[in-house]
Chain A
């Protein structure tokens, strides 16, 4: 009897392990949904342009620190907006990284959207102005479970949708 109880205990343990290792199932994404991944790192423009130093100003500097231009390090935040038709899917102002705010602004955002046709608009501003410096509009048919990638290519200053 004790042996039977012992076997039952080990069997119950194994069953518990087997059960919880796969059950209950987790729904990561509903079947009629798709994902738009908005991902990029981009450095905004400098807040102010480089300024050429006068001879007097150069003379006041230690010899090892004399450079012709004074270039402020701080950069503008990057403003990004993603719309589907008139619906704003994502809108944010991304702060530059670094304690002097001189690094890149980064975004990684997963946006859960219904599958089907979307009139996508992406706008990016990196100069602190009111309008977008870069824009892209595209009609796209998102199949269920599709993961659409929206990026900003720093080399070509182009918004990529793929």
Chain B
């Protein structure tokens, strides 16, 4: 069932890929920066919120009047800030939801990733509560609806004797202090939880990307500014508890659940919210087909160089004091709970050397399910039945391109992640005559399943990161499928055939 949902989701993201790749380079594709983009939206919310706070008054009449002042009198700055505050909050909901769906359908929530997945759930709750309390503070008819409906929802929790909704019976009974409390929650309490939640969310990631590329930040801010100028956020009529609001312009990003309180009941809305959240939390432990293998250290060949530690995207490898009595001071050690089986550590290992002529090809760190020796054998095998020019394609197991290539009659050497392929294997394929060219079909758009596989591969081939591709290799014979010019060419088969054609004399 889950696998079917994954497939369906991947198909949907696949359908999005074509228009997105027409508009963006892989590095500038917002779909590859959803988490960082959310943080950027929160920055906009924070900065615009500080401006609103300067003018905001925490009293029943003052709240509405101060927001109206910002919107009408100070429209050129306060009004824009208010609109930015709202639209960036809405934008954050979109990026959060797409981020969640994407991580789910691409199976990036299991194993070591359970921690980020699970800590993301309360973070989403806090973001929603933050948005809802923000609407409350405006104290217009929408705020009245939100306040009373929220109170009805909270009243359903059987811990309070008196009804919280009873606080909203008449304008005379409504306390200014209630606004002080809500303002405290919205301005200080919840934002602190969000900062802590984000820290926890990325706690297990090495080199977390907190900020999107500058160009994307500028474009996003500009888009929000233009929207704020063209279509500024405005209030409803001032709240009056003696009258019930009639028709409301709901912000469906935050308030979609509120009509359900009226249609169903607060109790059933709780069942829905808690049920969906619980299902999301337990997803990482749902049954799956196979158990992933864990990187294995062979001490005899580990020289303690630390490259695997540097390159592991999930901090699964660490250096510990040597245990085998050799002169090296440290050795690599893999935490099975953190390893996601990507093999990027193998690609970083200088002892993963296919040219080795004596003894078995055993690197210091290896993947039991797809060994360095097996990878060399696959290259040799792929080079046997050759046409001219002959190109060996390497494909990432998590990307759907391998099947299409095989259906077109092209052999593909599969790797767990493109980062698993040490550059020496490319040298081996070309210099030993197994191929005239090498094409790397990593995850499309450089959107690596294991975060850094595509980036590390690019840097190794560009001779900017150890282990580097040797200088003798002709770079024109190595094609990165996710990079220009190949990224602009249709599917994997078309890329491959175009590359083959480019090598013809």
A binding-site residues for B, Cβ under 8 Å: 2, 5-6, 8-11, 13-18, 20-31, 34-35, 37, 39, 41, 97-98, 103-104, 106-108, 110, 145-147, 149, 151, 162
Name A17's contact: one of B22, B94, B162, B170 (CB within 8 Å).
Answer: B94
A9 surroundings in chain B (CB, below 8 A): 19-20, 23-24, 30
Asked if B23 and A28 make an inter-chain contact with CB atoms under 8 angstroms apart, the answer reads no
Known: A97-B161, A149-B170. A27 touches B247 (CB 8 A): yes
Nearest B residue to A104, CB-CB:
B161
- Contacts A6-B23, A6-B24, A13-B223 given; indicate if A25 touches B248 (C-beta within 8 A): yes
| Inter-subunit contact A17/B227 (CB<8 Å) | yes
Q: What number of A-B contacts does a CB cutoff of 8 Å give?
A: 127
Cβ of A27: which chain B residues have Cβ within 8 Å of it? Answer: 246-248
B170 pairs with A21, CB closer than 8 A: no
A79 to B237, CA, bound (A): 38
DSSP majority for the A interface? mixed
Which chain B positions have C-beta within 8 A of A15?
227
Q: Is the CB of A18 within 8 A of B247?
A: no
- Jot down 10 A-B pairs with beta carbons below 8 A, ordered by A: A2-B22, A10-B219, A16-B94, A17-B91, A26-B258, A103-B161, A108-B166, A145-B244, A146-B244, A149-B169
Complexed CA–CA distance, A125 and B20 (Å): 67
B16 to chain A, nearest CB (A): 11
**Of B223, B241, B253, which contacts A147 at CB under 8 A?**
B241
B111 to chain A, nearest CB (A): 32
Interface mask (B3-22 → A, CB under 8 Å = 1, otherwise 0) = 00000000000000001101
Q: Which of B223, B226, B249, B251 has the most CB of A within 10 A?
A: B223
Q: Contact between B169 and A28 (Cβ–Cβ < 8 Å)?
A: no
Q: Is B61 an interface residue (CB 8 A)?
A: no
List the B residue with the shortest CB-CB distance to A144: B246
Encoded as 1 (CB less than 8 Å from any A CB) or 0, chain B from 139 to 169 comes to: 0000001000000100100000111011001
Q: Given A20-B253, A26-B259, A39-B163, verify A10-B223 contact (CB < 8 Å).
A: yes
Query: Hey, which chain B residues are within 8 Å of A20, CB to CB?
Result: 90, 251-253
Q: A16-B94, A21-B253 are in contact. Are A31 and B223 (CB under 8 A)?
A: no
Contacts of B94 in A (CB 8 A): 13, 16-17
